């Protein structure tokens, strides 16, 4: 990847922005890419806990995020931002900041207000309609739809998988990621595992405390089974049983 990228997901609350973002992050990390997700809730809880919800407070909050995203992207981190970011002029300002050093992909996560209200997993629309929350986008504060986004992701009429695939194809179109399931890292490659097997491996690592990552565990197991040492080498019975035990715990055998 010769140039960093920021994917900016914008849309009404409960439109599906963060759901798409999390699946995209998981998909790209499995392929070996360095990815970071900046999510509205997380940023407000950690980096910017004093952020309010007036128009100017939202602008300041989002401009701070834009500079963080730019810093990540210029260091070749695929940066995914998931924010309501309701105002066109603020999104244009965000684009100008990021495009000085990185590619900017605006993805409008489209969903009708009625459907977002129906989903409302956090109960925020209900509270806003009851007057318990002020300046809530879609109720007493407007959402200005993007006029010319790089992508429109319709979460009301298309599946999560469809929308994630469209984002991945856009990254391929811009030559940010490669085709195929393997990414070359010089003397290392990334392999794809089934979700079930990967989760088993993560659980094993958590319980055992012996490895730092799934990749380290797999490399250890393969080195044990496919040792390149001289042909005269033979594992002891105890070593063989230990390898089998580890393989069995991961569902390989």
- Give 91-105 pLDDT, tens digit per residue: 999 999 999 999 999
Decide if 82 contacts 17 (C-beta within 8 A): yes
* Separation of alpha carbons 141 and 89, rounded Å: 15
| Residue-level pLDDT at 3 | 74
* Position 37 pLDDT exceeds 50: yes
* Separation of alpha carbons 146 and 243, rounded Å: 55
Q: Pick the catalytic residue from 14, 85, 210, 249.
A: 85
* Position 239 pLDDT exceeds 90: no
* Position 109 pLDDT exceeds 80: yes
- Give 132-175 pLDDT, tens digit per residue: 989 899 898 999 999 999 999 999 999 999 999 999 999 999 99
Does the annotation count 213 as an active-site position?
no
- Give 68-77 pLDDT, tens digit per residue: 999 999 999 9
Domain ranges of the chain: 5-179, 193-249
Q: Which CATH code for domain 5-179?
A: 3.40.50.300
| Residue-level pLDDT at 235 | 59
Which of residues 225 and 84 earns the better pLDDT score?
84
* Separation of alpha carbons 148 and 107, rounded Å: 10
Residue 200: C-alpha distances to residues 48, 50, 214, 244 (Å) = 35, 39, 10, 16
Question: Tokens 């490895």 — which residue?
Answer: 211
CB atoms within 10 A of CB 122: 11
């Amino acid at each position: 990847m010769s140039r960093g990228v920021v994917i900016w997901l914008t849309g009404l609350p409960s439109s599906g922005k963060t759901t798409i973002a999390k699946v995209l992050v998981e998909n790209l990390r499995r392929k070996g890419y360095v990815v970071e997700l900046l999510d509205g809730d997380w940023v407000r809880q950690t980096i910017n806990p004093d952020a309010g919800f007036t128009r100017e407070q939202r602008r300041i909050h989002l401009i701070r995020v834009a500079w963080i995203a730019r810093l990540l992207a210029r260091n070749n981190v695929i940066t995914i931002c998931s924010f309501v970011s309701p105002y066109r002029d603020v999104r244009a300002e965000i684009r100008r900041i990021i495009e000085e050093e990185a590619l900017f992909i605006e993805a409008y996560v489209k969903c009708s207000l009625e459907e977002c209200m129906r989903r409302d997993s956090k109960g925020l629309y209900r509270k806003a309609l009851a007057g318990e929350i002020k300046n809530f986008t879609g109720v007493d504060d407007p959402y200005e739809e993007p006029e010319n986004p790089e992508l429109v992701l319709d979460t009301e009429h298309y599946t999560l998988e469809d929308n994630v695939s469209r984002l991945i194809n856009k990254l391929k179109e811009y030559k940010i990621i490669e085709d195929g399931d393997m990414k070359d890292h010089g003397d290392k490659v990334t392999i794809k595992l089934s979700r079930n097997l990967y989760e088993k491996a993560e659980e094993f690592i958590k319980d055992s405390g012996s490895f730092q990552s799934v990749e380290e565990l797999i490399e250890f197991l393969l080195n044990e089974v496919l040792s390149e040492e001289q042909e005269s080498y033979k594992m002891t019975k105890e070593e063989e049983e230990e390898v089998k035990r580890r393989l069995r715990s991961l569902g390989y055998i």
